[in-house]
Amino acid sequence: MEKGMNLKLKIWRQKNTNEQGKIVEYPVSNVSPDMSFLEMIDVLNDSLVAKGEEPVAFDHDCREGICGMCSMFINGEAHGPNRGVTTCQLHMRSFKEGETIYIEPWRSEAFPVIKDLMVDRGAFDRIQQAGGFVSVNTSGRTLDANAIPIPKEDADKAFDAATCIGCGACAATCPNGSAMLFVAAKVSQFALLPQGQVERKERVLNMVKQMDEEGFGNCSNIGACEVQCPKNISIEVIARMNREYLMANVKPEN
């Protein structure tokens, strides 16, 4: 039987939004390389509960890389050292025997810490509510999707943008705390499709306005968001959103 790894975890513990947090060290032993990162924390929490201690609070749901809830900074990188994966898809074979692993919540003014590794990402929900919808009827007696001609290049780009899961890695990674990659992905998703044309101008104006009101910073094209996005969304969507925003602000001549 393969021997598990012994690791040292340094985890951010914070009781609530208003209290000061701190790094607390926890040793874990016999960690299987085949465990996911979240399974490893489950093992730690089981041991803490058994000792009568408070378990580490963290967000998770699908554990399939779809929901975007398992948001953590691991050794200073969003979702850990691997590219194109969420924390729940990160496996312990990515770490070495005896390694010290730092685990922290997202660091963004717009994502206040709720408890330990959990943050409030309601800002993203409010941005989507400001414009991330279509008024075209897409249920009931509608045309078959294939009956609406869409150039394959546009369909592919829209699909690439739609892979955004709203995890917040982009905003948490950006030195400016910018949410431009997230907002641009949502704007691009609809701007390229016929169903999104009705609210096209209103959408980008409302979503950018809400983004600014939430306190996110400005984009300065550093590119860290693209590198640490678990869905590998290109900063090309930011350029597209900038064009959409410019066109929405141009008033037609009388």
Q: 135 falls in which pLDDT band (50, 70, 90)?
A: confident
| C-beta separation of 91 from 158 below 8 A | no
Tokens at 93, concatenated? 């074979």
Domain with 72, as residue range(s), is: 5-115
Residue 190 and residue 97 share a domain: no
pLDDT tens by residue, 58-104: 999 999 999 999 999 999 999 999 999 999 999 999 999 999 999 99
| C-beta separation of 77 from 228 below 8 A | yes
Residue range 129-148: mean pLDDT, rounded: 75
Residue 164 and residue 98 share a domain: no
Looking at 55, 81, 115, the residue that finishes a domain is: 115
Percent of the chain with pLDDT over 90: 85
Query: Which pLDDT does position 147 carry in this prediction?
Result: 75
Closest CA to 188 of 235, 225, 251: 235
Phi, psi of 170 (to 5 degrees): -60, -50
Number of domains in the chain: 2
pLDDT tens by residue, 224-250: 999 999 999 999 999 999 999 999 998
